[in-house]
Amino acid sequence: MILQCNVKRIVMLTLLREDDKVKCYGYYPMMNMKNKSIQFKDIFIHLESESEFSIYKKRIFLVKRGDIEKRVSQYHFTKWPDHGCPQNPTDLIEFTRMYQIEKKNSSSPTVVHCSAGVGRTGTFIGLDIIMQTLKTRKSINIYEIVRQLRNERMKMVQTFHQYSLLYQCAYILVNKTSSMRWSKKSVLSRRLTRIPQTPSNSTRKMSERKVLNKYYPPDFDPSKIPRMKLAKNRQYTVRLMAPFNMRCVTCGEYIYKGKKFNARKEDVENETYLGIRIYRFYIKCTRCLQEISFKTDPRNTDYEIEAGATRNFMALKLAEEQARKEEEELREEEANNPMKLLENRTQQSRNEIELLESLEELKDLNRRQQTVDYEQMLQQYDTAETAREREERLARLDEEYIKTVAFGSAPSASGSKIVAEEEVLETIDLAKGSLTKPEPKSDIKSPSCFGEPSENAKSNPEEGSSDDKRT
């Protein structure tokens, strides 16, 4: 807008931060900045000079955008309080008069802004109109001026005190009262309100004379006067709530967000951000009394932990910041290096092809799995296991039988072949008409190994057994 509309002057009526609240974004560089410069995308702003006066500051910027280069003057009024209006209307009158002198014989537009752009801005524009009108006329209609301003923009001259300020300034201008006389009168009126009423007029005249005789030279600097008072403690106690969740590094106590503490507050020396002061707070852990310190971070509108505790999401935050920095570096490298951009696109295409191949493999695997009958596989597995167990059982029985034959051990109850021979002996006994249980033999032979018994053995079991022994 500054470059497009050929703006040469900016009037600023607010501070960057008032009453611990951000009123205006720092759109211009400061004297304490590196190179006294700041950049917004393709717009480069450089601070050439800064002059400080009693009620305002004047800065000259060099604004560049490509081949376009322009110098812009900023007039920063610093005497407007956080709430209400300037106590001395002559400060605003002198500031407006200075602005008119600077603007003389110039047709370029001026940008006037405060915080919301209606209250202080409307008051300054209204006073400028009043002063321009009184140069050619001896009467003024303030109500009509404010009404026209509000027709152009809603809520101009926002409060009753700002509207009254226009009448006070108009009264001073109409009566042609100098700023010195008004200043003395206002100071005198404030002092007289504190003086008790006494019947003696000499005391009042003495007080008036003391007030009016005060004179400060132009180069007066109260900060250079040595004070006999001791330095105040820059730390003071405040009541606050924990601004974030944290955990004590000493005892591991969890401190949730919103927990109330009696904290010590101090200003961080030699550390500001765009003119905004930074504060440090000290609290103590509720369990181990470990001191925890953190400070404000106006850059990120957050708080920064310093010592004594850790934030729960600090690792995630650092990882996000690192990822954001890497992404910005990659984007900047691609913008400045066409070959790097080509390599990244080639790698991206290769990754996409690999992903498509992996997807096709997964699809083939799913199709094969759909054709497999898992129940049938389990049945075959169970059948195979049963056959294997049967083979092992038969092999175990054969080994027991071989041991019985070779070492003459007692027959096993589970041996089917030995049981068959005993059944044969018991049958012979039944044929004789009596059931006699054979005596246990130390050496029992299998019929399958030695053939069928002879007729003599059948008729005389004792002889048969002796024949077996001789054999």
Annotated binding site: 248, 251, 285, 288
What is the DSSP code (8-state) at residue 214?
Answer: -
Count of other CB atoms within 10 angstroms of residue 31? 10
Round to whole Å and give the CA distance between 465 and 471. Answer: 10
3-class DSSP state of 240: strand
Tokens of 394: 């038969």
Question: DSSP class of residue 227?
Answer: -
Collapsing DSSP to helix, strand or coil, 306 comes out as: strand
Amino acid at 185: K
Pairing of strands 9-12, 68-77: parallel
Report which secondary-structure segment, H or E, holds 61: strand 56-65
Q: Return d(Cα 187, Cα 184) in angstroms, integer.
A: 5
* Residue set of the binding site for Zn(2+): 248, 251, 285, 288
Query: Quick one: CA dihedral 373, 378, 379, 385, positive or negative?
Result: positive
List beta partners, residue 49: 60
Strand 43-52 to 276-284 pairing: unpaired
- Number of alpha carbons in the 13 Å side-chain half-sphere of residue 357: 6
Length of the chain: 471
Backbone Cα Rg of the chain: 53
Picking from 110, 83, 101, 97, the residue whose alpha carbon sits closest to that of residue 8 is 110
**Which residues are within 8 A (CB) of 425 and not within 5 positions of it... i.e. 6 or more apart?**
438, 461
| Among 319, 344, 348, 349, CA closest to 332 | 344
